[in-house]
Structures are given as structure tokens and as C-alpha cells.
Amino acid sequence: MVSEKILTNLKKSSWIRAMFEQGESLRKKYGADNVYDFSLGNPDLEPPQTVKEVLKKTVLSDTPKMHGYMSNAGYADVRAAVAEHLSKTKGVPVEASHVVMQCGAGGAMNVVLKTILNPGEEVIVLAPYFAEYLFYIDNHGGVPVIVDTDRETFQPDAKKIHDAITPKTKAIIINSPNNPTGVIYSRSSLESIAEVIEKRQKEFGTTICVISDEPYDKIVYDGAEVPSVFDVFKNSVIVNSYSKSLSLPGERIGFVAVNPGIGDTSDLMDGLIFSTRTLGFVNAPALFQRILPGSLDAQVAVEVYKKRRDMLYEIITKAGFRCLKPQGAFYLFPKSPIEDDVKFCNEALKYNLIIVPGTGFGFRGFFRLAYCVDEKTIINSQKAFEALAAEFK
């Protein structure tokens, strides 16, 4: 009944979910309080109070056709509000006509890839990466080309990207702040990539689209800034969601925004709207579109994530693990004490630690910790991390 392709992909499916399932078994055996699960990047903070108040007001309103169909691109006033907010935060004037509302960033990424890819065209993915990118690219006949970032700083390597670009390269995916490292790609790194892309486009007579996946762009610490991709790359689109910034992962609300610097965007916008419809999304959820205009300036309590980052970072580094302190998102990406990170993460299960091997993100020799968990879990994990580290000294 199931296709061979899906059966093959199931075998390559998420290490995150695999480790979470291991955690379920341990929780049943030892109790949830005695298991330290850092596997899932599932925001545990409540949405901001502003969002809750707008939601209540919206649900109780008598607006006609509140739950009906709208344009596949989304409500005009919502698109205008998102465009205005982007104009303020990205340093580039964005119009409502450059925005298509989407079913989360995952839906948005699939819409973009369906719109731009011809069969066999290549998409550069920077490792470590969100594992679903590879499946999204495959969904639409593309071929992923993996390019490693620097193993110490996790910044992109412009020379490696230059060498990876071919006449078949159609896009490159940028994810900053990055999942799984929490690293923000510096402006100088992005400008170096832009120079490489410009050179290769002239050499091959092609156009390369930079797809910036930005669900963590509001989860940043210590005064760090996320450089505007629109300000660096002319041929760029942003895919984003409010899963992290407003703590609404289950509501599947996000958008695609096209850089107006591209010039004539009419065909691209029409393609994005057509793909939204024909992929079966039809339109972004009506109710959560309506709450956005009154919620765009709200934000989850980032200081809570920062406190957890600092607590967990101190625990693992004192235990002896090497780790670059992240500037954003809610992940740590320490170096595994052995190259076989899968073996290491399986060993961690002995101490009721649920961690995810870097192999699952295309980066062997590391492991990911998601600190969107309660402080009690972090505090109680200290002895387990110390025991795990001691085993490999």
C-alpha cells in the first residue's frame, strides 16, 4: 500500500522524534520527573497576553464570514499589516502585494520550492540544518546539495558555497538564528555569500533564489541583531511563522514575503498563490490571520529562554563539554566527546538524558539540546550530565 519512496524516507526520518520516543519509554519506567528530555524544539511558554486578549475579542466578534474562505493569499488587511511590520524590521519597503499568508513556515517553504523548482534543479542546504529541508526539496523534484559550515563557529563558508554552485543551482536555504546551533549568521558572512552568488549567476547566466527561513528571528539574546536578508540579497524570499515569536506552533500561521528588490514579482507572486492552493493548504487559517494585526508587536518572554540557556550552558560546560554559546533560538549544539554521536546519544539514555545526535542535522560529532523546557528539568539534569561526561574522560 505505501510507496517505496515513503518507506525509504521513513527509515531516514527524524532523529528528534526517534529520541523523543525513547524518552516516552523512559518516562513510563522511571517517571517524568526523573527523565531529562531535551529532544523537542516545542515552545513551552504561553503566548503573550496581548495575543490571548486579541484572540478572545476576535472569537467573540460578530464579523460576517469569520470562518469562511478568503483569497488564497490571505486577508488583504493582514497582508498589509505583515508588510508594514516587515518594512520596519527589515529595512526594505514591503507592500501587501509581496506577502502571501501561509500554514506555518513549513507550509511556506514547500510553497516556495514548488513555485521555483524544475525537476533536477539543486538547492544548497547549509549543515547543520533542519532535517525536514531535505524532504521538502525532494517533495518538489529538487536535489539537495549539502555544504558544511565551519565546525568551530558554524558560520557559512563562502568558498565552499562557491564550489557547490552549478548551472543547476536554483536556491540556497539560509536559517538564522540557526536550528540546531542557535548561531546568527553574521552580516559579513551573508555579504560574502552574496558576492559568490552574484559571481556564479553571471558565470552561468542563471538566477539563484535565497530562501531565508526565519522562525527564530525574534528569539535573540545579549543585544544580538539578525542581519536583514532583504538588505543583502536582491533575489530573496523570507519564510516565517509565529510558532516561536508568539508561541503558536500548533496554530500553523506564517507567511512568505518576496523581496521587492527583485523587480517585477508578478509571476512569482502568482506562482506562490497558485502553489498555496494546489498543495492543498488553500489558505492560511482564517482565525489566526485575524489576530495578527493586533499582535505583531507582541513577543514571548525571551528573557526566560535566555535564563535557561545560561543555566544549561553552565551545567554542560562545567561538566566538560565544549559548546559555542548561542546567540538565538533555544538550542545548544555541543561537541560530542566521540565522533560517533549516535552511539554517544544512546549512551546518554543510561542517565535518562534524551539528546539528539548531530547526525540528524547533517553534522556528525555533535549533539543538540533543546532548552525550551522547564527550569526544574535543567537543574535536575546536572548530575546526569556530569556522570555522562565522566564516562568519556
pLDDT in tens, the chain (393 residues): 888 888 777 666 666 667 767 777 777 777 778 889 999 888 999 999 999 999 999 999 988 888 999 999 999 999 999 999 999 999 899 999 999 999 999 999 999 999 999 999 999 999 999 999 999 999 999 999 999 999 999 999 999 999 999 999 999 999 999 999 999 999 999 999 999 999 999 999 999 999 999 999 999 999 999 999 999 999 999 999 999 999 999 999 999 999 999 988 999 999 999 999 999 999 999 999 999 999 999 999 999 999 999 999 999 999 999 999 999 999 999 999 999 999 999 999 999 999 999 999 999 999 999 999 999 999 999 999 999 999 998
Shared domain for 157 and 112, answered yes or no, is yes
Of 188, 174, 187, 149, the C-alpha closest to 333 is 149
Shared domain for 118 and 246, answered yes or no, is yes
Cα gap 213→226, rounded to integer Å: 12
Shared domain for 110 and 30, answered yes or no, is no
Domains: count for the chain: 2
Shared domain for 34 and 113, answered yes or no, is no
- Residue 301: CB partners within 8 Å, gap ≥ 6? 45
Shared domain for 142 and 225, answered yes or no, is yes
| In-domain check, residue 157 | yes
Q: CA angle at residue 181 from 179 to 186, to 5 degrees? A: 95
Cα gap 371→385, rounded to integer Å: 14
DSSP calls for 315-384: HHHHHT---PPPSBTTEE-PBPSSS-HHHHHHHHGGGTEE-EEGGGGT-TTBEEEE--S-HHHHHHTHHH
Shared domain for 284 and 387, answered yes or no, is no
Shared domain for 10 and 54, answered yes or no, is no
Query: Which of residues 262, 290, 318 is at a domain's end?
Result: 290
Provide the residue range defining the domain that includes 308.
4-47+300-391
| In-domain check, residue 69 | yes
Q: Do 226 and 212 contact (CB within 8 A), yes or no?
A: no
Shared domain for 60 and 43, answered yes or no, is no
Shared domain for 168 and 132, answered yes or no, is yes
Shared domain for 252 and 325, answered yes or no, is no
Looking at this protein, which amino acid is placed at residue 384?
Answer: A
Shared domain for 138 and 248, answered yes or no, is yes
Query: Which of residues 290, 308, 324 is at a domain's end?
Result: 290
